[in-house]
Amino acid sequence: MSIVTIKDRQFKTSIPEAEILRRVKAVAERINHDMAGKNPLFLAVLNGAFVFAADLMREITIPCEISFVKLASYQGTTSTGKITEVMGINEDLSGREIIIVEDIVDTGLTMKRMIETLGTRNPANVHICSLLLKPEKLKVDLNVEYVAMEIPNDFIVGYGLDYDQQGRNLRDIYTVI
């Protein structure tokens, strides 16, 4: 276990890179099976999901497309609960299988907003794929079909997740001490 300091906080290793990649591969295998013959559009939520999305896409073997959307709901270590759409979706979603790729689902408010936004574009189905899920923190009823790992309600950093925009480059996931 290693300890890193980011700004004013210390974090310890909680999920090593090898375990993350093993879980990402398992999620990709389920998606490959479930979406065979469907050409899904993956919508990766920036900034946090970019590392997960890249590793996930390398394991996807079916025809697919990827695009990016940017939503913001965090400030420092806490969710503001107020979601601002920063960068929208340009693709035609009508009749498409959509898979939202998110780094972490905790309150579920970001996903609820995103599903509502996508629903106005007439997709065939909208699926949620998240690297991490904090089930005890959910405030809305969500069907997160593809989850790599469930975690407790700790503040984490690394593998794309940040603390005030720092730490995204860490290969492992770290928990605040």
Q: How far apart are CA 31 and CA 5, in angstroms?
A: 36
Residues 6+ apart with CB under 8 A from 167: 4, 6, 11, 157, 158, 161, 174
User: What's the Rg (C-alpha) of the chain?
Assistant: 16
Q: How far apart are CA 171 and CA 177, in angstroms?
A: 18
| 129 close to 99: Cβ distance less than 8 angstroms | yes
Q: Which of 29, 28, 103, 40 is nearest to 67 (CA)?
A: 40
Whether 106 is catalytic: yes
| 28 close to 60: Cβ distance less than 8 angstroms | yes
In the chain, what's the furthest Cα-to-Cα distance? 49
- From the list 8, 92, 103, 106, the catalytic residue is 106
Q: How far apart are CA 166 and CA 93, in angstroms?
A: 33
Which positions are catalytic?
Answer: 106
